[in-house]
Amino acid sequence: MVIVSPIDYRYGRKEVKEIFSEEGRLKYLLKVESEISRTEAKLGLIPKSAAEIISEKAKTEYVKLDRVKEIESEISHDIMAVVKELSNISGDAGKYVHLGATSNDINDTATALQIKDFLAFFEEDFLKLEKTLYLLAKTHKDTPMIGRTHGQHALPITFGLKVSVFLSEIMRHHERLVEAKKRILVGKFMGAVGTGAALGKKTLEVQENLMQSLGLGIEEGPTQIVNRDRYVEYVSIIAGIATSLEKFATEIRNLQRPEIDEVQEPFDEEKQVGSSTMAQKMNPIISENVCSLARIIRGFLTPMHESAILWHERDLTNSASERFIIPYVSILIDDIMLKTNYVFSNLKVNKDRMLRNLMMNDLIMGEAYIMFLVSKGYSRQDAHEIVRKSSMEARKNKTRLIDEVRKVTNLNVPEANPLDYIGNSIEIVDKILEIYESHSNKYHSN
């Protein structure tokens, strides 16, 4: 077998990839077929003995992947290949396999089960990253550093404030995902065009019992498929999470630049190689990898939206793309979430360099000087212009801003200390930490 995709040999963890593997997919398809037979037997539609046989045989130890693929190569239909093989090995009971179902009753319900099992892993990822950011923000809530806008020095903040903003953002994503589960984790059993005609009035009862036994919601307005706005929402939420993770990783990359040197992602100084020729380098490769894979995830947004636009009650234009989209975005978001947690869990914070960068010059205290001048009777606009012009003179003359302001105003302007100008940074951090504690209790209890 020739392996082409890096996702097979480079990215993603084994447990998650198994959910979306060929063998894993077959297990979920068989689980749905098995549960259909059990439900139909429970409602008196097929013999209980037949359901027992079908359920026993609906396992990959009996329905072999290679045999299913062999049948598919002959008949050109993947679900029917599963149905035929399960029917063959179930003997006389095989005549009841797939009764009243259409292919996407099996396909879409299996996809919901895959996403459901994946989310059990992914929600643990959230809890880990949230705790890591919480501890980092708590540790550094009063660690002063320079805030930057447009890549330029702006006003003092604390590193804890920066991290708590990340924490707040990732908690919102967590809430979005949990809240959306009721719309995403749904299946169907309503046949070819969504009317459930095959089993008549019994279809609704079968569907309700089937989805209840599988722990899924019901597509209340089916066509032949579960409506794809549900998958669009899932992929959109994942893409939003990826965007935030790239934002966090980009900040680490920027703050690790030697001219800034305020943080450093983990680097194995004993063995890790930074460059094949520049042996001295310590590159932020994990954060760069997060950024790179986040872009791949977002790249699936357009094909997922386009896959929701189908002819009439359905066509097949969504099928091929979804075989990529759902597994890839799930595997990769889990991968970069774990990597982001690793970076922040082992982040080196250079407090001394943060302080040195903060105290580089007093230009960052321009706002404080504006407020002082206003307190002495200047209009806000006049004070702004005085400080603006004084800052230009300070840069040109390599002098201090305060001295230039004093010169223009003839006032004994008190010197502002950046360490005393972090505003409400600590209070904001404390509030976000408090929100986290409530959030953590809620989701850990779930």
Which positions are catalytic?
150, 275
Q: What is the distance between the alpha carbons of residues 91 and 78, in angstroms, rounded to a whole number?
A: 21
**Structure tokens given for 345:** 């869990």
The residue whose two tokens read 């089993």 is 199
Number of alpha carbons in the 13 Å side-chain half-sphere of residue 158: 23
Number of alpha carbons in the 13 Å side-chain half-sphere of residue 62: 19
Query: In Å, what is the CA distance from 29 to each residue of 86, 228, 232, 321, 362?
Result: 11, 19, 22, 19, 66
User: Residue 76 CB: number of other CB atoms within 10 A?
Assistant: 8
Number of alpha carbons in the 13 Å side-chain half-sphere of residue 94: 13
**Structure tokens given for 314:** 């359905």
- Nearest 5°: the CA angle 411, 415, 420 is 140
Q: What is the distance between the alpha carbons of residues 88 and 82, in angstroms, rounded to a whole number?
A: 10
Q: What is the distance between the alpha carbons of residues 251 and 260, in angstroms, rounded to a whole number?
A: 11
Q: What is the DSSP string of 185-218?
A: SEE----SSSS-GGGTTHHHHHHHHHHHHHT-EE
CA nearest 16: which of 123, 176, 169?
123
Strand locations in 112-193, DSSP E?
144-149, 152-158, 186-187
Phi, psi of 25 (to 5 degrees): -60, -45
- Nearest 5°: the CA angle 377, 381, 382 is 60
Q: Using CB atoms within 10 Å of the CB of residue 381, give its burial: 0 to 12 exposed, 13 to 18 middle, 19+ buried.
A: exposed
